[in-house]
Amino acid sequence: MQLDPPKIQVRKGLVICYTGDGKGKTTAALGMCIRATGYNLRTLIWQFIKGSWHYGELDGIKRLEPYVELRQRGEGFVGIVDDKKPREVHRQAALQALEDVKTEIASGKYHVVILDEVFVGCQLGFLTANDLLALIAQKPASVHLVLTGRGAPPEVLEAADLVTEMREIKHPYQKGELAQKGIDY
């Protein structure tokens, strides 16, 4: 399919971080993806950690193709529910994903690159703040880089142009309500 040219030119690619213990980090990044698609900007969503479950965004993003691509590069949530994989398998997946996304960012093909749950990779010790700072430093000036996940390293937040922290005030899970398809995943 032929892509229409972007309706705007990116003035300055920003580094945007969505972090915190509250819900909505991925949702905020996906909202930005939809907005960018409205201007014919190409978006790459690179999911770290996630990978073993089926999420609604996988099917929803297909409706935005070819302007949006989503790639699950994790081996699934680490150490919870159905995960039986050794931590080293998860670590290697995160390291390989980081190397691969460097190539994609440098390709000039994308205007927005979302690294979903990348901060969780740092929290788990699979990636470091220095890994992300190096990625930020080599990012082309015309690419918006969006980083999500709990536990963002302070050094990365300092290097970012925009930081939003999601804070949980209350959640249905506290009353025994399990996650719902279409709302939570």
pLDDT digit string, tens, across residues 20-44: 999 999 999 999 999 999 999 999 9
- Res 132: pLDDT: 98
Which residues touch 8 (CB under 8 Å, ≥6 apart)? 39, 41
Model pLDDT, residue 78: 62
Residue 45 lies in a domain: yes
**Domain tally, the chain:** 1
User: For position 82, what pLDDT does the model report?
Assistant: 65
In a domain, 185, yes or no: no
Cβ–Cβ under 8 Å, residues 133 and 15: no
**Would you say residue 80 lies in a domain?**
yes
Whether residue 57 has pLDDT greater than 90: no
Which residue stretches of 70-183 are H helix? 87-106, 118-123, 129-138, 154-159
Q: What is the CATH number of the domain that holds 33?
A: 3.40.50.300
In a domain, 64, yes or no: yes
Listed residue (34, 86, 88, 95) closest to 60, CA to CA: 34
Q: Which residues pair with 71 in a beta bridge?
A: 46
Establish if 147 belongs to a structural domain.
Answer: yes
Q: Any idea which of 45-49, 68-72, 123-127 has the lowest mean pLDDT?
A: 45-49
Q: Is residue 17 very low, low, confident or very high in pLDDT (cuts 50, 70, 90)? A: very high
Residue 31 lies in a domain: yes
> Who wins on pLDDT, 50 or 15?
15
180 inside domain: no
Asked if residue 80 has pLDDT above 90, the reply is: no
Domain, as residue range, for 77: 15-167
